[in-house]
Structure 1
Amino acid sequence: MRLVVPVVFVGCLAAAPGRTQSLDDRYWIEASVMWADLDTRGDFRLPKAPEGGQIDFEGDLGMDDRETLGAISGGYRYSERLTFGADIYRLDRSSTEVLKRDIPFEIVTFPATATIDSNFRSDIYRFTVGYSLIRREDLEAGVAVGLHATDFNIELAGRGQVGPVKVDQVVRRRAFLAPLPTVGAFGVWRPTPKVTFNGRADYLSLSLGDYHGGVLNMQAAAAYAVSDRVDLGVMYRFVDYDLSIEKRRWAGGLRYQFSGPAVFLRASF
């Protein structure tokens, strides 16, 4: 897994159980908009079959490699040191492309020159529990455990070939939920009453049921209090999946990475 992470994360301690929690908030909810750069590659084949060839969703299928991504997150400080947090966000892309090479997908091959309609959707759910090892008036840092679950839906449709048989219109779909536990760390620093910096990092690489591989999720943020209960801020997020999948009826792999800057508005109470 490539750790291509901006230096800004180092200065922000690395991880927070909610997204941009403040040191005094009991509850908070946040809406953000991210401008994401994307890199998506997959391989889908029958079980026990050799790798059939990787699909580059941006290069081969013509999907946009930049998208605007909205997200909602929130958190709850249960006690002085224990915090719960959650994120929900979706990325949904579609394209129509004339193929420049043959694209294998399980038993189907979509041939070069065929016009293919494709869709790639990911719904991401992140839950964490954080415990503060350091807790001061202007500084907080600790560790976190959580779950990073992603619901993937992938579809290709167009002229294809199954063995020697040519089919004018064939549709192949794959949907799967990849639940990956994570461990991480977080930090929050408030140098002035109106300015807060924070960061987080969640990571784990393991085998769990049908899935092998891991996920890295990192973020750094800066917020300014425009009122007692509302903060406006900027952040940078980096997410990297590297999965191999072995199910009863199909197998494959997925490399999915997105990163970019974002703006957010947070309300606390």
Structure 2
Amino acid sequence: MQIRVGGFYAESDSSIDVTDPILGEDFKLDFETDLELDQYQFLPFFELEYAYDHKHHYYLDWKQLHRRGDTIGLSRGFQISIDDTIYQVDTGARLDTELDIDILRLGYGYDLFEGQNYTLGVTVGLHTMFISIALEGAIGACISGQIEGNQCAQTPIPRLVEHEVTAPLPDIGLIGRYQLMPGWELNGHAQYFYLELDDMKGALTDIRAGISAALNQNWNLSVSYNYYRVSVDMTETFYNIKVADFNINYSFIGPKLALTYRF
């Protein structure tokens, strides 16, 4: 069994489809551009791997993206509808935003080919995204029937109720290792998934190539270059979310550093 911990430098892109209360038109509200959440951030990850009979591998890994944004003057007002309630934020309003995304993966790998210095296998897994969104500030609310001319008689609320959404994302891929010399190893994997249902569409691409060096019998250090992108689009009614369509895109391209302990 081995435990791997490390960090990576992530580039994030996320948005939600909302309505302009003046024009009555839908538009994309960008969390990074409009709500001032950090686009680039150094983030932690955790991986656990258990090998059985050399050929069978079981995986558990977790990645975290938690961000906060403070918008002093919103450039464009918007409305979203949740559970028959219209929430409205006007142009120029102050708004504090929280967007938390956690990705948990369970996986299984099997080594198809083994040589003296290499292995090549296949993997299958299931990613789950935990998404939590909260807005706090100059927010008003009214029931859907109070809308007249795209406007509503607002009742101020201090905080928009948080919404938590989980989206299971299956994946399939290849994984390989090549021993350059004792203690030094090239390794990499490629995973892909795409799924489209009535109210949800999701995709995942995960490609990594790197090198690891043994520090001693139990510890090794690895450096890799990783392209990772996962996206989820949800429309219509999903977990009590109506009208507003969530478009969550999470990606990073860049270096990844990890420390592994084997026992």
TM range (shorter): 0.7 to 0.9
Which segments of 5 or more consecutive residues in structure 2 lack a partner in the other structure?
142-150
Of 159, 162, 167, the match for 1:171: 159
- Pairing 1:250–2:241 present: yes
Q: Which amino acid aligns with 1:195?
A: W
Q: Deviations over 1:133-159 (max 9, x none)?
A: 111231111111100111110111222
Of the structure 1 ranges 127-136 and 247-256, higher mean CA displacement relative to structure 2 is found in 247-256
| Mapped contact 1:158–1:168 kept (Cα < 8 A) | no
* Alignment correspondent of 1:53: 27
- 1:236 is displaced (CA, Å) by 2.7
Bigger Rg, structure 1 or 2: 2
TM-score, normalised by the number of residues in structure 2: 0.83
Q: Deviations over 1:213-240 (max 9, x none)?
A: 2222222221111112211121233332
TM-score, normalised by the number of residues in structure 1: 0.81
SS at match of 1:131: strand
Which segments of 5 or more consecutive residues in structure 1 lack a partner in the other structure?
1-26
| Mapped contact 2:106–2:125 kept (Cα < 8 A) | yes
| Change over 3 Å in CA distance of 1:230–1:209 after alignment to 2 | farther
Q: Distance in 1 between matches of 2:69 and 2:91?
A: 16
SS at match of 1:53: strand
Q: Distance in 2 between matches of 1:85 and 1:248?
A: 28
Between the aligned residues of both structures, percent identity stands at 26
- 1:130 is displaced (CA, Å) by 0.7
| Mapped contact 1:53–1:104 kept (Cα < 8 A) | no
| Mapped contact 1:34–1:263 kept (Cα < 8 A) | yes
* Alignment correspondent of 2:107: 128
Count of residue pairs brought into register by the alignment: 239
Higher relative contact order (CA 8 A, sep 6+): 1
* Alignment correspondent of 1:263: 257
Query: What is the root-mean-square deviation in Å for CA atoms of aligned residues?
Result: 2.2
Q: Distance in 1 between matches of 2:232 and 2:95?
A: 25
Q: Deviations over 1:152-200 (max 9, x none)?
A: 1011122234432234445332211111111111111111112112111
Q: Distance in 2 between matches of 1:111 and 1:74?
A: 46
Matches within 5 A, 1:129-148: 129-148=108-127
Q: Which amino acid aligns with 1:96?
A: D
